[in-house]
Structure 1
Amino acid sequence: MIQASGLRKQYGDVVALDGVDLTVREGEIFGVLGQSGAGKSTLLRCVNLLERPDAGTVTVAGQDLTALRESDLNRARRRIGMIHQHFALLSSRTVAGNVAFPLEIMGVPRAERERRVGELLELVGLEGRGGHRPHQLSGGQKQRVGIARALAGNPSVLLSDEATSALDPATTQQILALLKRLNTELGLTILLITHEMNVVKTVCDSVAIMAGGRVEESGTIADLVRTPGSRLTREIFPLPEPAPAGSVTLTFAGQAGRPVVSEVVRKFDVDLSILGGSIEELAGDSVGRLRVALEGEDAGAALAYLRASGLIVEEAA
């Protein structure tokens, strides 16, 4: 659905994007994770060409946006919704007026606008609040207005720029649940920018980790947690580094309900001490990381058994 190739963007001496490649599949929620200055917001603005890259191409739904004339680009942008970090609502307009604004720009007749606004407010859980002003709303409600406005043009792609960073934890979970529901019910492809690992853990199917204007790691969460040395896995399941000499780090996905540890202890008569670890629910699967010390004559065979069982086994030097 979204394909960015070789994106480069420079502001003076600052290189914001340095050869970024990104592939977002249709219907998935893709997170771009990184700290401030990583280049993730610049990447998002390049996807809908609010910022034109100095080099590279951006293709959305099979259409090369970087090759379009301005008039054609404006039409293409109607299929790309945008949610902002600080809501960007018009204080002079009511909730309904804010949602209707992009429809007015598109020249949608008044009766159809009113019908569409009513549908959108119900969709985001704000029915009955169309006459309110932004100052009468909570932060979560303001963001719901922003989401409804982003959906006004019936987009196939939704871009989210730190949409939950200004919200408290409980409201963040509500907004993430709404985005997941919209993704499922409307078939929306969602590209979201965040510096919060919790956002990635809660809703994302795939992720790219950015630093210094480059993508350091990218892929589905299911694939990355099964990749030895994955930065995503280390950040989701932090363990003290460096690992103690002789210890073993086990990463498992899909085996959380199977008693693999007790199996290997019984089968190979080894002593196994747990040094640390945790389990998380990621992309609908139970994933965990466990650091252990394994002792016994058959410790090598026990490790081979764990590998054969589908666990990622990383031995400390």
Structure 2
Amino acid sequence: MIQVSGLRKLYGDTVALDGVDLRVREGEIYGVLGQSGAGKSTLLRCVNLLERPTAGTVTVAGQDLTALPSRELNRARQRIGMIHQHFALLSSRTVAGNVAFPLEVMGVPRAERARRVAELLDLVGLSGRGGDHPHQLSGGQKQRVGIARALAGNPSVLLSDEATSALDPATTRSILDLLKRLNAELGLTILLITHEMNVVKSVCDSVAIMSGGRIEESGAIADLIRTPGSRLTREIFPLPEPAPSGSVTLTFTGDPQRPVVSEAVRKFDVEISILGGSIEELAGGSVGRLRVSIAGDTAPALAFLRERGLLVEVTP
């Protein structure tokens, strides 16, 4: 659905994006994770060409946006919705007026606009609030208005620019739940940028980790979890560092209550001591990570754990 190839963005001598490649599949929620200055927001603005890249291509739904003339680009942008960090609502307009604004720009007739606005406000849980003004709403409600406005043109792609960073934890969860529901019910492809690991853990199918204008690691979360040395896995499951020499780190997915470690102890007569670990609920299910020390004939026990689907990493 979204294909970014060789993307570079320069501001004078400053390199904001340095050869970024990114592929977002249709219907998935894809997170771009990184600290301030990593290049996340620049990447997002290049996807809908609010910022024109210095080099590289951006293809959305089969169209190379970087090759389109202005009129065709404007039409293509109507299929790309965007949610802003600080809502970007028009204070002089009512809630309904804010949601209707992009429909007015597209020339949608008044009666159809009214029908569509009512439908969208119901979709985001704001039925009956169309006559209110933004100052009468909470932060979470303002963001729901922003989401409804982003959906006005029936987009196939939704871009989210730190949409929850200005919200409290409970409101953040409600907005993330809404995005998951919209993804499932409308088949939306969602590309979101965030510096919050909890956002990635809650909703994302895939993730890219950015630093210094480059992508350091990317892919489906389920695949990265099973990749030795994955930065994502280390950040989701921080364990005491440095790891003692000879210690073993076990990463497992699926049912965290499977007694594979105790099975290994009984089957191979080894002693396993747990040095640290945790279990997390990710969008795709439960994932656990343990650091252990193993005494005895370790090779058969480690082979057994690998056969059971665990990622086994031995510290030299």
Partner of 1:15: 15
SS in 2 for 1:81: strand
In the alignment, the residues of structure 2 paired with residue 12 and residue 280 of structure 1 have an alpha-carbon distance, to the nearest angstrom, of 43
Partner of 2:28: 28
In the alignment, the residues of structure 1 paired with residue 287 and residue 191 of structure 2 have an alpha-carbon distance, to the nearest angstrom, of 23
In the alignment, the residues of structure 1 paired with residue 251 and residue 161 of structure 2 have an alpha-carbon distance, to the nearest angstrom, of 31
In the alignment, the residues of structure 1 paired with residue 180 and residue 29 of structure 2 have an alpha-carbon distance, to the nearest angstrom, of 8
Partner of 2:125: 125
Is 1:109 equivalent to 2:119 in the alignment?
no
Aligned-residue offset at 1:254: 1.9
SS in 2 for 1:217: strand
TM-score, length-normalised on structure 2? Answer: 0.99
Partner of 2:94: 94
Contact 1:221 1:283 in 2 (8 A): no
Partner of 2:82: 82
Partner of 2:311: 312
Q: Aligned residues: percent identity?
A: 84
SS in 2 for 1:293: strand
Aligned-residue offset at 1:133: 0.5
Residue type of the partner of 2:269? D
Residue type of the partner of 1:108? V
Partner of 1:267: 267
Contact 1:274 1:293 in 2 (8 A): yes
SS in 1 for 2:18: strand
Q: Residues 145-167 of structure 1, C-alpha deviation per residue, up to 9 Å, x if partnerless?
A: 00000000000000000000000
Is 1:44 equivalent to 2:44 in the alignment?
yes
Q: Residues 185-225 of structure 1, C-alpha deviation per residue, up to 9 Å, x if partnerless?
A: 00000000000000000000000000000000000000000
Partner of 1:288: 288
Is 1:181 equivalent to 2:181 in the alignment?
yes
Residue type of the partner of 1:29? I
Aligned-residue offset at 1:283: 2.7
Contact 2:222 2:284 in 1 (8 A): no
Give runs of aligned pairs for residues 207-246 of structure 1, distance below 5 A: 207-246=207-246
In the alignment, the residues of structure 2 paired with residue 249 and residue 53 of structure 1 have an alpha-carbon distance, to the nearest angstrom, of 41
Contact 1:222 1:283 in 2 (8 A): no
TM-score, length-normalised on structure 1? Answer: 0.99
| C-alpha RMSD of matched pairs (Å) | 0.7
Partner of 1:72: 72
Equivalent residues, number: 316
Partner of 1:203: 203
SS in 1 for 2:252: strand
In the alignment, the residues of structure 2 paired with residue 274 and residue 40 of structure 1 have an alpha-carbon distance, to the nearest angstrom, of 37
Residue type of the partner of 2:110? R
In the alignment, the residues of structure 2 paired with residue 176 and residue 252 of structure 1 have an alpha-carbon distance, to the nearest angstrom, of 26
SS in 2 for 1:57: strand
Aligned-residue offset at 1:281: 1.5
Partner of 2:139: 139
Contact 1:33 1:196 in 2 (8 A): yes
In the alignment, the residues of structure 2 paired with residue 261 and residue 14 of structure 1 have an alpha-carbon distance, to the nearest angstrom, of 51
Residue type of the partner of 1:308? E
Partner of 1:302: 301
In the alignment, the residues of structure 2 paired with residue 233 and residue 284 of structure 1 have an alpha-carbon distance, to the nearest angstrom, of 14
Residue type of the partner of 1:227? T
Partner of 1:170: 170
Aligned-residue offset at 1:284: 2.4
SS in 2 for 1:289: strand
In the alignment, the residues of structure 1 paired with residue 250 and residue 129 of structure 2 have an alpha-carbon distance, to the nearest angstrom, of 51
Q: Residues 248-283 of structure 1, C-alpha deviation per residue, up to 9 Å, x if partnerless?
A: 100111252311111101111111111100011123
Which residues of structure 2 form unaligned runs of 5+?
Answer: none
SS in 1 for 2:43: helix
Residue type of the partner of 2:38? A
In the alignment, the residues of structure 2 paired with residue 4 and residue 42 of structure 1 have an alpha-carbon distance, to the nearest angstrom, of 13
In the alignment, the residues of structure 2 paired with residue 167 and residue 11 of structure 1 have an alpha-carbon distance, to the nearest angstrom, of 31
Q: Residues 82-111 of structure 1, C-alpha deviation per residue, up to 9 Å, x if partnerless?
A: 000000000000000000000000000000
In the alignment, the residues of structure 1 paired with residue 18 and residue 271 of structure 2 have an alpha-carbon distance, to the nearest angstrom, of 49
